[in-house]
Amino acid sequence: MKIISRRKLIQFSLLGSIASALGSRSSFAKALALIPTPDETEGPFYPVKDQNDKDADLTQIEGHRGVAQGQHIIVSGQVQDIAGHPVANAVLDIWQADANGRYRHPRDPNKAKLDENFQGWAVIQTDGSGLFRFKTVMPGAYPASETWIRPPHIHLKISKPGYRALTTQMYFPGEKLNQTDLLLNAKSTAEKSAMIAKNVGQKGNLPIYEYNIVLELLRK
């Protein structure tokens, strides 16, 4: 019987691990992607006045004839846990500025005109596979101070019993203001990558952005 040295065993083990990882690029990429989605500040403009219409189409308010101004877009994605399992029936609380950079909030100091046909706020749930989808407008940039212009972004709160609640912000690819945003640039390169959506195509004249979310389980 041939005896294999300890050194050879370690070499075989390492080679096996590398081969296994490289043998499935999708699995390897998925493992790298499943870091928890970074937290971000809620900001001062979370809705304070309840509204009847909080459905997944923010481009039109029930009872209004008009539609929201600006470029309409679709945002879709999946909520997973860090092990890659879909999180069904998670609640997504979504709010953002309109195409003019104005929030539907009484304390927004922006002097831009409020789009009265933009819903501004939605509360939706993931389906049985953790998938979600909503229609909205590309949010406008707006001044956070005299020297800081915030890039287009969407606020999200995601919650489900058994998981750590997450408040975050979704950014858009290719935006110049991303490079100078104080909040986004406080993040690591990996965190920034996780917070910037991907443009994955178009449906008619609607750009489609993909934004996947990873939640952490609550520790017992």
Does 209 participate in catalysis according to the annotation? no
The tokens describing 36, both together, are: 């928890």
Which residue among the candidates 155, 171, 209, 211 is catalytic per the annotation?
A: 155
The active-site residue, picked from 102, 104, 105, 142, is 142
- Cα–Cα distances (Å) from 24 to 13, 35, 153, in that order, read 17, 19, 34
Is 150 labeled as catalytic in the residue annotation?
A: yes
Whether 46 is a known active-site residue: answer: no
The pair phi, psi for residue 154, each rounded to 5°, is -125, 135
Q: Residue 155 catalytic? A: yes
Measured between alpha carbons, how far is 86 from 128 in angstroms, rounded to an integer? 8
Identity of the residue numbered 65: R
Instruction: Tell me which of 102, 104, 105, 150 is the catalytic residue.
Output: 150
User: What is d(CA 15, CA 176) in angstroms, rounded to the nearest whole number?
Assistant: 43
Burial class (CB in 10 A: 0-12, 13-18, 19+), 132: buried
Catalytic member of 72, 104, 153, 211: 153
Tokens of 87: 């999180």
**213 close to 200: Cβ distance less than 8 angstroms:** no
Catalytic-role residue among 72, 102, 103, 105: 103
Give the catalytic positions in this structure. Answer: 103, 142, 150, 153, 155
